[in-house]
Chains A and B, each alone.
Chain A
Amino acid sequence: MIALRTEALTKSFTLHLRGGLPIPVLAGVSLEVRPGECVVLSGPSGVGKSTLLRCLYGNYRAESGRILIRHRDGDVDIASADPRTVLGVRHETLGYVSQFLRVVPRVAALDIVAEVPVGRGVAPDAARDQAAALLRRLNISQRLHDLPPATFSGGEQQRVNLARGFIGGHPVLLLDEPTASLDGENSAVVIALVREAKARGTAIVAICHDPEVRAAIADRLFPLAPLQDAA
């Protein structure tokens, strides 16, 4: 079974504010990821790794090709599905940890994380317990749990983001530089979380520049090559 598959995925940007300048980024990308497998995207900076990850999540619109996600008992094509279907896939199946936490004003770190299990039907108290345990595991001390993360350090915000991404147990998980602003101790926690998710059968696509973390989580690399600049 394949958890995530792209077929001839192509993506370019058209900059209308620059006279319609086309920027081709991805062409004919065909990627397959099985349950329990972690594929790390590789290639030089600017090659389109984040663009590919965002396309997989439906955050960027694929220009052509298909992005098939195993959802319930069938495949959903994220590239052509209507918004409500994409939201349903994200809710149940497809998780994404971005590089930066987009903070919600006034909402406590604990509630930002607990919101995910609550949305999936877990009782609020149990969800808060789960969230607190995961935050503690990521070395976010108890005294920070009830504070909105707006004033947290970059590393703390990233760990809140990671907790939010991992708590849902989504069968397909996309990770964009999950350890970029973390120290060795916290990186080790992330490596353990990724390994546990893989053991549960989670299919993971990650961007990860840190060679040690990459070696610890990747089952294989998926190299992206630069396209010729049309401009």
Chain B
Amino acid sequence: MTPDTLLAARGLSLSFGAIPALADVDIDLWPGEMLAVVGESGSGKTTLLRVLSGLLRPDTGVVWYRDPDGRLADVHAMPAPMLRTLHRSDWGFMHQDPKDSLRMTVSAGGNVGERLMAKGARHYGDIRAAALDWLRQVEIDAGRIDDLPRVFSGGMLQRLQIARTLVTQPRLVFMDEPTGGLDVSVQARLLDLIRTLVARLGIAAVLVTHDIAAARLLAQRIAVMQRGRVVETGLTDQVLDDPQHPYTQLLVSSVLQA
């Protein structure tokens, strides 16, 4: 850990019964960088994301978060209201299924505006203007602002979730398979959107994905997980082009070339 480390985890372990979901995992994240966590289904990627973001408590280990004033807080020791406040303002969490974070009975604009209101915004005109601006940034037509998300396509829902997550200008975003289950052309558009927005806003992110190409495109650093352990970590291009661990070699050699 260095004086500017944004998020640091040490010795995270968690078992579901006899199955180790996390085994002695260390993670460091610095401001403005994206860390990809890759590995096959069941390797513990999503569990790691939930533990890092305080949604799931580890059996052992600690997660530190440095707030904007430079103070370190133990994510799993902070009072619940403080954690909720973090999730509403400094942090964002993008789910694989946007329906897990969107409210399907509230309009598209309302979904974006709601997060601003949760952070304390009260002026209706400002909130609607911000919502419109963010719909434009994620390439959703302004005329759809009053539509309910349930009439949106999968790709639009994911873009709406991006707008809802980023509208509060979080410092740290947790992303769980943000392009999973979408058409390839829609994936490309989302990847480009995420890449551009994250770079422009200087957001740090932990990206969980099984898509090696997406990890290469978006992340400066990568961690490879197998059976709850981080088996290899380093520069994304180095780990993918010169993998050292047997499992990483298998993972990289299994990717289809398009």
Taking Cβ atoms with an 8 Å cutoff, the residues of A that contact B are 13-17, 54, 58-61, 83-84, 86-87, 102, 104-107
Q: Say whether B1 faces chain A, with CB atoms less than 8 Å apart.
A: no
Residues of the A chain whose Cβ atoms lie less than 8 Å from the Cβ of B33: 84
Jot down 13 A-B pairs with beta carbons below 8 A, ordered by A.
A16-B246, A17-B246, A17-B250, A17-B253, A58-B238, A59-B238, A61-B234, A84-B33, A87-B220, A87-B235, A102-B216, A104-B192, A105-B192
State the CA gap A57–B244 with chains docked (Å). Answer: 17
Q: Is the CB of A84 within 8 A of B188?
A: no
Residues of chain B touching chain A, judged by Cβ–Cβ distance below 8 Å, are 30, 33, 188-189, 191-192, 195, 216-217, 220-221, 234-235, 237-238, 241-242, 244-246, 249-250, 253
Complex contact A60–B242 (CB within 8 A): yes
- CB neighbours (8 Å) of B30 from chain A are 84
Q: How far is the CA of A202 from the CA of B234 in the complex (A)?
A: 28
Contact of A60 among B195, B238, B250 (CB under 8 A): B238
**Chain B residues with CB under 8 A of A16:** 245-246, 249-250
Cα distance A168–B250 in the bound complex, in angstroms: 36
Question: Besides A87-B220, A105-B188, 5 other CB < 8 A contacts?
Answer: A17-B249, A54-B241, A58-B235, A104-B217, A106-B189
- In the complex, the chain B residue whose C-beta lies closest to that of A55 is B242
Closest residue of A by beta carbon distance from B33: A84
Contacts of A83 in B (CB 8 A): 220-221, 234-235, 238
Nearest CB on B from A103, distance (A)? 10
Q: Are A61 and B195 in contact (CB under 8 A)?
A: no
List residues of chain B with CB within 8 A of the CB of A54. Answer: 241-242
CA A58 to CA B234, docked complex, whole Å: 11
The 8 Å CB contact of A86, one of B189, B216, B235, B242, is B235
Q: Which residues of A contact B195 (CB under 8 A)?
A: 104
Q: What is the CB-to-nearest-CB distance from A20 to chain B, in angstroms, rounded to a whole number?
A: 8
Q: Which 3 A-B pairs have the closest CB atoms?
A: A105-B188, A16-B246, A60-B242
CA of A61 to CA of B235, assembled, Å? 10
Chain B residues positioned under 8 Å from A84 (CB to CB): 30, 33, 220
Query: Cβ of A61 and Cβ of B188 under 8 Å apart?
Result: no
* Min CB gap A56→B, angstroms: 12
Is there contact, CB below 8 Å, between A61 and B242? yes
Cβ contacts under 8 Å, A59 to chain B: 237-238, 241-242
CA distance A58 to B245 in the complex (A): 17
B188–A60 contact, CB under 8 A?
Answer: no
Query: Chain A: which residue is nearest B246 at the CB level?
Result: A16
The CA-CA distance from A110 to B126 in the complex, in Å, is 35
Q: How far is the CB of B31 from chain A (nearest CB, A)?
A: 11
Whole-angstrom CA separation of A83 from B33 in the bound complex = 11
Q: Which residues of B contact A15 (CB under 8 A)?
A: 249
CB distance from A95 to the nearest CB of B (A): 14
Instruction: Enumerate chain B residues within 8 angstroms of A13, measured Cβ to Cβ.
Output: 242
A102–B238 alpha-carbon span in the complex (Å)? 15
Chain A residues with Cβ below 8 Å from B220 are 83-84, 87
Q: Cβ of B249 and Cβ of A107 under 8 Å apart?
A: no
